[in-house]
A and B are shown apart, each in its own frame.
Chain A
Amino acid sequence: EPEVTQTPSHQVTQMGQEVILRCVPISNHLYFYWYRQILGQKVEFLVSFYNNEISEKSEIFDDQFSVERPDGSNFTLKIRSTKLEDSAMYFCASSEVTGMNTEAFFGQGTRLTVV
Chain B
Amino acid sequence: DAKTTQPNSMESNEEEPVHLPCNHSTISGTDYIHWYRQLPSQGPEYVIHGLTSNVNNRMASLAIAEDRKSSTLILHRATLRDAAVYYCILGYYNEKLTFGTGTRLTIIP
Contact = CB atoms under 8 A, between A and B. Distances in A.
Contact of A100 (B42, B92, B101): B92
A25 interface: no
A106 interface: yes
A112 to B, nearest CB: 14
B101 A103 contact: no
A56 B43 contact: no
Interface residues of A, number: 26
Report whether over half of chain B's contact residues are helix, strand or loop; otherwise say mixed: loop
Contact of A55 (B38, B95, B98, B99): B95
A100 B94 contact: yes
A43 B90 CA distance: 15
Contacts of A35: 44, 97, 99
B104 interface: no
B27 to A, nearest CB: 12
Interface of A: 4, 31, 33, 35, 42-45, 48, 50, 55-56, 58, 91, 93, 98-101, 103-109
Interface of B: 31-32, 34, 38, 42-46, 49, 51, 87, 90-101
